[in-house]
Amino acid sequence: MVGILAVQGAFAEHAQMLDRLGAAYTCIRQKRDLVGIERLILPGGESTTQRRLLCDLGLLVPIREMIASGMPVMGTCAGLILLADEVADEERCLGGLPVRVRRNAYGRQLGSFSVVGEIGSINDYPMRFIRAPYVETVLQPDVQVLNITDGRITAVQYKHILGLAFHPELTEDDRLHQYFLSFSA
Ligand code: GLN
């Protein structure tokens, strides 16, 4: 069963994508929703709000432990920020992904834009960025960089953790969700 963190942000769009792919999922809003979860999606939204809600709802520590024990997780945009081991000028949240990210990294003019590019071996993938972060530095050599756009790292994979600065749930293209569902749980 896939868990979609559903405390704030674009969780409904991930759910629609999983519906299309016929993957069973449940929305995570409280601790008991985590029972039976084998993989987790952390959606885009507002990472500071999500962080506060994770703490208030008692979800932070159990999710951190699940990720540390090897559960596959995909974080998109704000979700990438939650997963990063370091966040420039801020405290980290869940951690687990050895990268340093910078929030709202493209400035106001480039707050929202779309490009098409390669994500690892996936070609012609539409990437939609909305007040996106980017990965400033990878902190371990075995972090795989899956995409660089305009000289900035926007997609990484570290073992069972996929971190994306853009929003794969806001396009019609389901290949990244399929890729994530192929990770062994
Ligand atoms: N700017 C948001 C943040 O810092 C992320 C934006 C998004 O998820 N689309 O949390």
- pLDDT tens, per residue, the chain with 185 residues: 999 999 999 999 999 999 999 999 999 999 999 999 999 999 999 999 999 999 999 999 999 999 999 999 999 999 999 999 999 999 999 999 999 999 987 766 557 899 999 999 999 999 999 999 999 999 999 999 999 999 999 999 999 999 999 999 999 999 999 999 999 98
| Ligand 1 centroid from CA 79, angstroms | 8
Beta-carbon count within 10 A of 108 CB: 7
CATH number at residue 73: 3.40.50.880
- d(C-alpha 108, C-alpha 14), whole Å: 26
Q: Judge residue 29's burial from the number of C-beta atoms within 10 Å of its C-beta, 0-12 exposed, 13-18 middle, 19 or more buried.
A: middle
Contacts of 178 (CB under 8 A, 6+ apart): 21
Question: Is residue 55 annotated as a catalytic residue, yes or no?
Answer: no
Domain, as residue range, for 25? 2-181
Pocket test for ligand 1, best of 131, 134, 135, 154 (most atoms within 8 A of CB): 131
Residue located via tokens 């081991």: 85
pTM of the model: 0.96
Question: Ligand 1: residues whose CB is within 6 Å?
Answer: 44-47, 77-78, 81, 103-104, 130-131
Number of domains in the chain: 1
Position in ligand 1 atom list of the atom nearest CA 10? 8
| Ligand 1 centroid from CA 146, angstroms | 20
Q: How is 150-168 classified by DSSP, letter by letter?
A: TTEEEEEEETTEEEESS-G
Buried b (16+ CB within 10 A) or exposed e, 34-47: beebebbbbbbbbb
